[in-house]
Amino acid sequence: MFITVEGIEGSGKTTLLTSLDLWFQQQGRKTILTREPGSGYLGKKLRSILLNPQEQLSREAELFLFLADRAQHVADIIRPALDRGDDVLCDRFTDSTLAYQGLGRQFFNEQWLRQCNNIASLAIRPDLTLLLDMDPGQALERARSRNMRAGIAEAEGRFEAESIEFHRRIREGFRKIAQMEPERIIMFDASLSPQDLLTLAISIISARLKG
Ligand code: TYD
């Protein structure tokens, strides 16, 4: 099963994914936990460019670097894992490109972006996407204090530094994308406790695994 988790910064994706990874292992399933951008040998290089606030990337350059990151990530990590029959848990995927580069940057045509995503992901689509929905003010506060604690405010803050309006557009973008694919994308209230979120996520995943 290929599961992605999406949402704005600070919505709790990493916490949920770490617990889900543990749960999958407890079920005796072979699982890989991965993320975008920044997995694999090329991803690490691209991540340091994509998230660095000192970089002056054009909108097109930003888009193509995210897509390059995805193409290599799918080819080297995601597709081989799915071919082996492993479960894949991925922090962000194609929906982030639609939300950030499409609706956040307000520049690219949605149909065209979907085609780009399709090429970069080798036409592999998530079986299930968990969308963590949260008020951007609250979520950004969480993301900023996490970054300060981890000492990555300077190195990885390019998106956190964007305006609150930008993050509101992303949130609305994700909600819109979820409405278009209600079977695949399940939206959660990310202000719930981590334990409640995990319980909800597990009940949905268990039902899909049985079905
Ligand atoms: P990251 O530090 O991984 O943030 P988070 O922990 O919130 O996921 O940063 C990833 C950033 O990259 C995030 O701000 C969203 C952005 N992004 C895009 O703009 N487009 C994409 O296709 C992807 C995968 C991420």
Taking only the tens place, the pLDDT of each residue in 160-189 is: 778 899 999 999 999 999 999 999 999 999
Q: What is the 3-state secondary structure (H, E, C) of 159-204?
A: CCCCCHHHHHHHHHHHHHHHHHCCCCEEEEECCCCHHHHHHHHHHH
CA 59 to chain centre: 19
Residues with CB under 6 A from ligand 1: 9, 13-14, 36-37, 51, 66, 91-92, 96-97, 100-101, 156, 159
Locate the ligand 1 atom nearest the alpha carbon of residue 67 and give its number: 22
Locate the ligand 1 atom nearest the alpha carbon of residue 100 and give its number: 19
Q: What is the pTM of this model?
A: 0.95
* Per-residue CA distances from 199 to 59, 79, 130, 178, 203 (Å): 38, 28, 13, 21, 6
**Ligand 1 pocket mutation pick from 159, 167, 170 by most atoms within 8 angstroms of CB:** 159
**Ligand 1 pocket mutation pick from 35, 69, 100, 171 by most atoms within 8 angstroms of CB:** 100
Locate the ligand 1 atom nearest the alpha carbon of residue 69 and give its number: 24
| pLDDT at 64 exceeding the cut of 90 | yes
From the CA of 28, how far away is ligand 1's center (Å)? 30
Q: What pLDDT, on a 0 to 100 scale, did the predictor assign at position 110?
A: 93
Mean pLDDT of 88-102: 97
Q: What pLDDT, on a 0 to 100 scale, did the predictor assign at position 22?
A: 98
Taking only the tens place, the pLDDT of each residue in 124-138 is: 999 999 999 999 999
CA atoms within 13 A on the CB side of 132: 28
Locate the ligand 1 atom nearest the alpha carbon of residue 38 and give its number: 3
